[in-house]
Amino acid sequence: MGAAGKAVASCHMTPPASTLKNERPVVASYIVTFLKPEMLHVYRQVTALKEWHPVVFCQKRENEETFPFEDIRIFPKPATHPLRRFWQKTILKQPIQIYASEAARLEKAMGESGAKLLHVYFGHIGVHLLPLLERTRLPVVVSFHGADAQVDGDKPSHLAALKRVFELARLILVRSESLGECLKAAGCPEGKIRMNRTGIPIDRLAFQLRVPPADGKWRCVQAGRLIAKKGYATSLRAFAKFAQEYPEATLTIAGEGRMKQELSDLAASLNIADKIKFTGFMKETDLMALMAKSHLFLHPSEMGADGDQEGVPNAVLEAMATGIPVIATRHGGIPEAIEDGFSGLLVEERDHEALGDAMLSLAKDSALYAKIGQTASASVHLKFDIKNTVDQLEACYSEVAKTEPS
């Protein structure tokens, strides 16, 4: 195991057994918006808990039909939030934090819920909740998923607040070894860091052996929010190169976001607009159906200008599980999921020439194409099954619940 692997430990304790649902200890899961469309992985994690009973605390509820959940407590932003935002962020140049009065209300409500532990989703929300973390007697776990480890990390006030989160939390959970290294560099004690990958429901993702299309009608796909770090511009340029040799090929982009017009314009300038389809956000079942009839999955993530980077993208894991060969980048936690040339192909960030060459290499080597699809699925089954990752999460909860504060 390399240095990064040594830096991030896993919880190996066995959670205590329980019998009836109402006997399970309660974890207060704070998720500021429950839930945005791209947060399916969080919903899966919360609803898959077995030994602990989750009670969700949030500021607002969204997409209730997509993410049904009964035990939820909503504490909206105060009416003075715009003023608070201006004062704290613009005048004081500090990260926005809740008022002491909000912290008191949350603490009281969590006590009334019977919570034995507080799990804060995302590091920047830990900073936002610092007044609560300072006063609560509950042991605290904070999950970092990617962007929350880097954004605003160059600002002294944010970094100081982040270090205070590290001090107050009993454990810090990370999705990837690379993310753990980032937090160590930011001042998190190594002994507090635990690996907890956000798993995927393997049993719902059917493997399908892919074969290259005999007619050259390659169906390529990329899925995710239309934001810079997903590398869509690189995908379009690479696909334009690929389409020169396979003019019947198509690329479907499944997702929504602020870059849609920019990407549409780029596709037009590359003379591939007629081969590109933007579907908007797709339900899980529809996305799985799309991947089932596709041949190549692209995910050339890149570091954002603000330091935003990926952990281990769930879209990549889901594609791998279904057997569709994935071509991605050496970025964030992606190399922890994909072994280049074995369970996928990796290129450097923003290198559309290399991405296009990788697409062509798979198209022209049917043996490599078949091998990668099979080994990718086996690898994801071994490392990213949500049943195992939730067991690890609950073991972390039990570890924290039994540990006295340092």
Q: Is residue 406 part of a domain?
A: no
Per-residue pLDDT, 6: 38
Instruction: Round to whole Å and give the CA distance between 275 and 282.
Output: 19
Per-residue pLDDT, 147: 63
Q: In this structure, what CATH number is given to the domain that contains residue 170?
A: 3.40.50.2000
Q: What are the mean pLDDT values of the chain's consecutive 10-residue runs (406 residues total)?
A: 42 40 87 93 96 98 95 96 91 93 98 97 95 97 77 77 96 93 93 94 91 96 94 98 98 95 98 98 91 96 81 93 97 94 97 98 96 96 94 96 74
Q: Which domain holds residue 223?
A: 202-383
Tokens of 66: 């997509």
Per-residue pLDDT, 20: 41
Q: Based on the fold, state whether residues 177 and 93 are members of the same structural domain.
A: yes
Per-residue pLDDT, 404: 67
Per-residue pLDDT, 26: 97
Q: Based on the fold, state whether residues 83 and 184 are members of the same structural domain.
A: yes
Per-residue pLDDT, 148: 58
Give the CA angle between residues 41, 137, 400 to the nearest 5°.
Answer: 50
**What residue type is assigned to position 31 of the chain?**
I
Q: Based on the fold, state whether residues 394 and 363 are members of the same structural domain.
A: no
Per-residue pLDDT, 155: 78
Per-residue pLDDT, 165: 97
Please state the domain count of the chain: 2
pTM for the whole thing? Answer: 0.85
Per-residue pLDDT, 310: 82
Tell me the pLDDT tens digit for each residue of 318-347: 999 999 999 999 998 999 999 999 999 999
Distance of alpha carbon 85 from its chain centroid, rounded? 26
